[in-house]
Amino acid sequence: MKTRIPTDKKIYIFAGAMLVVCAGLLLFFVQPYMTKISTLTTELYDARVQLASAKKQRENLVVLNQDFRSIENRISAFDSVIIPSEKSLEFVSSLEEIANASSVTQDLSLSPLTDSAEVQEVPLAITLTGTINQVIQYLSRLESSPYYVSPLSMVIFPIADEIVQMDIQTKTYWIEKVL
């Protein structure tokens, strides 16, 4: 004989079964997927941060390449600024030629170079004697010479009738060529 389960108990059993099914769905499906979604969200965020960082590095690299190319194109300008130590005689001879062409008397005092592969800033003292026009002509020729001489100070004073003396303190840039 079959026993009948009262309706109110059926409702309780059905509600309990639904509760167990819902709990099972939450526990076995929703919860793992929520964890997985959270993990994927974190991984996606990390990947986006890495991609943004890589993009920024790439942009910086492109700018650096452009800067390097522009500097590389202008680097030959420094060849005339930095004098190789083996060309010291050529440099002094060039200054003597400028003095002879300008008809001035010139005294040079170049500080000694050190044995270094780095660029050195070397003081150079030039004393000129001649007329004001000859001294100006010397300065003009010195400025148009292929060598870079950076004047720090110039002092001019008369020493005789129409004859002046100019003391020029300059700096030059030298490098010891190491083979």
* pLDDT score, position 154: 93
* pLDDT score, position 5: 79
* pLDDT score, position 179: 43
Q: Is the pLDDT of residue 4 over 50?
A: yes
* Contact between 98 and 130 (Cβ < 8 Å): no
Give the pLDDT mean for 33-41. 89
Beta carbons within 10 angstroms of residue 22's beta carbon: 11
The angle formed by the CA atoms of residues 86, 91 and 94, to the nearest 5 degrees, is 145
User: Which residues neighbour 38 within 8 Å (Cβ) at sequence distance 6 or greater?
Assistant: none
pTM of full prediction above 0.85 = no
Cα 42 from Cα 104, distance rounded (Å): 80
* Contact between 104 and 166 (Cβ < 8 Å): no
Cα 10 from Cα 82, distance rounded (Å): 101
Give the pLDDT mean for 25-48. 89
CATH 3.30.70.60 correct for 80-175: yes
Percent of the chain beyond pLDDT 70? 93
Joined together, the tokens standing for residue 45 give 């965020």
Give the pLDDT mean for 113-131. 84
* pLDDT score, position 148: 84
pLDDT tens track for 48-89: 999 999 999 999 999 998 888 888 777 766 666 777 778 888
Q: Which residue has the higher pLDDT, 138 or 119?
A: 138
Q: Which residue has the higher pLDDT, 145 or 117?
A: 145
Task: Please give the backbone phi and psi of residue 176, each rounded to the nearest 5 degrees, phi first.
Answer: -85, 115
How does DSSP classify residue 81?
T
* pLDDT score, position 85: 78
Cα 44 from Cα 39, distance rounded (Å): 9
pLDDT tens track for 93-120: 999 999 999 999 999 998 887 766 678 8
Give me the residue spans of the domains in the chain: 1-78, 80-175
